[in-house]
Chains A and B, each alone.
Chain A
Amino acid sequence: MSKRLFVKGNEAAAMGAVEAGCRYYFGYPITPQSDIPEYLSRELPGLNGEFIQAESEIGAINMLLGASATGARAMTSSSSPGISLKQEGISYMAGAELPGVIINISRSGPGLGGIDASQSDYFQSVKGGGHGGYHIPVLAPNSVQEMYDLTMHAFDLADLYRTPVMLLGDSVIGQMKEALIANPRPVRELPAKGWAVRGKGGAEQRVVKSLFLGDGELEAHNWRLHAKYQVMKEKECISEEYETADARLIVTGFGSVSRIAHTAVTMARAEGMKVGLFRPVTLFPFPEQALAQAAARAGKVLVVELNTGQMVEDVRLSVGAAAQVAFYGRPPGAGSLPSPEELLEVIRKNYEGSAR
C-alpha cells in the first residue's frame, strides 16, 4: 500500500488529473476551487504540459475544446458562476463529441450568491446546462479519496464515450483534508482517437464539428447521442449503499451532505431505527434501478439536499409508485450546513411516519 497523504479535496482532484495523464489545464481563478489551478500551475510545466490562466472562463472552456480536439487529455475547473459562463463551450463539446473534464466546486446562487457549500447546481449539471438537449456524465465525490479516484475515472469516461464529463463538488469536499492513497491510474482499455485533428500529414481529412446542416444529418446525430446516453445509463451508474438491507427508511443525498447523512444514519441505528443510506455517485446517469430496488424494499425515501429540491425529482422518477418520497432541503447560506444531529431529528420524524 502506498503512503497515506494528507491533502485537500481540491488538491486530490488535481493530483488525480495528473495521474490520469492530463497535461493541459485552462482556467480562471475563483473560490473555492483555486487550489486546483494553483497545484497544476506548479506541476504541469515540469511534466512537459501547459498551464494557462485564461482571460476568462469562456476563454478557458474554448481552449479545452481546442486541446481536446487534438486528442490530448485536458481539463478546466471553476465554480458556479464561472461554470455558467462555460456552458456554451460544454454544449459545443457535447455536440462535437469531444472528451474533456470540467470540475465544478460549486458556490451558492443564484447570481453571485455566496461561497458557502451548496448543491444548487444539480439541475444545471445533470440536465444539460447549455443549449441543445445533451447530457454529460456527472460524478459526485464525497471524500478526498474520491476526488482523486473519480477525477481519473472522469478522464476514462470522457475518452470512452467521447464526451465532456463533470465532477460536481462543493466547498466541503474541495476544502476538507483527509487521508489520500494516491494509487496509480487503473488500466482500462480505451478506444483509439482516430478522430483527433493533429495535422493531416497526407492522411484523410478529419473534421471535428458540432454543425450539421445536411439533410437529416442533425437528426441522426441527435439519435446517435441519445443512444450513447442509453449505453451510459446501462453501464456507468455508480451508487453506494449503507445499512439498506433491512431499512424501512432510505435516506439519500449526494456529495457533502451524504457524509453528514452517513453519521445521522449511524446515530439512528444506535436508537434502533432501521434506516439506511443510498448515495448516488453518478448523478448522470442517475442510478435509477439500484435506488428503485432499495426504495421498494423500504417503502419510504427521504431525500436530503443543500438546495430547495432538485435531485428529489430524479428520485421520484426512479422510484415511481413503489415508495413514498419525502424531502428535506437546506438552501445555501452561511451556517446552512445541517449537523448530523439535525438530520437525525428529520430522520426521526420521517421514520415515525414510515413504520409498518
Chain B
Amino acid sequence: MLKISNIETFYGNIQALRGVNVKVENGEIVALIGSNGAGKSTLLMTVSGVNKASAGEIVFNDKNIESLLPHDIVNLGISQVPEGRRIFSRLTVEDNLRLGASSNDKGIHYSKDIKDIYDLFPILKDRLGQRGGTLSGGEQQMLAIGRALMARPKMLLLDEPSLGIAPKLVNQIFVAIKNINKEKKVTIFLVEQNAKKALELADRGYVLVNGSVTLEGSGQELLKNEDIQAAYLEGGGKK
C-alpha cells in the first residue's frame, strides 16, 4: 500500500534520512521505533509532503506521491496525527473536527462520521464547544486522532501518540488504535519511542537509527531481539 524507497531528506545541510526503505501493506499496523533524533518524525512528514525528499520515491497505492503537496496527499487517503498533537488550540473541539472533515467531500459525511468518533472517544462529545487548548493532553490526543479520522483516511500516520500522556490514557489510546485498524480497516503506520507498547501492537516493525533502517521484522521478533531490548526496552544503553 505504501512503499518508501531510498528516501533521503535534508534539513538545511543536515541529512535527516539516509536512504530509508519501508513498506506498509494494506490492513497492517507497522511500527517505526528509534531514539530521539533518529529521523522518525521527519519520515512521517516526508510521507505527508511537508518535508520534501531530495532523493528516493514514495508510492501510495501505485501512485508516486513524493512530489505532491500535503493537502493532495491527505485527499489521496493518508492522514497524519503529528507529534505534539498540534490541535488548533484557539478553535473549538467541533471546529477541529470539522476541519478534519475538510478533505472529505466538503464535509457531507460529517454528522455520520462524528458519531463514530464519539463511539471511539465518548469524552469528545462533552467537550464539543470547548476550545481545544483547554483539553488535557490525553483528550487532545483523542481529538487529534478523531480529527485525522474525519478525513476518512485509508492510512493513518501516528507520531508518538503516547508522548506526554497519563499512563491510564495511553492504554485507552492504544486500544483505540487497534480498534481503528481492525474495525475501520485503516492501515496504521506508527512512530513511537515507547517501543514495547508499539511492538506489542504492531504486526511488523522497523528500527530507525541515525536516519537509516537497521532492523526490521515482525513485532514479536523485534520484541525478543537482544539489541532492541538493550537499546529501547530496558532503559537504553546497557549491554
Partners in one complex: no
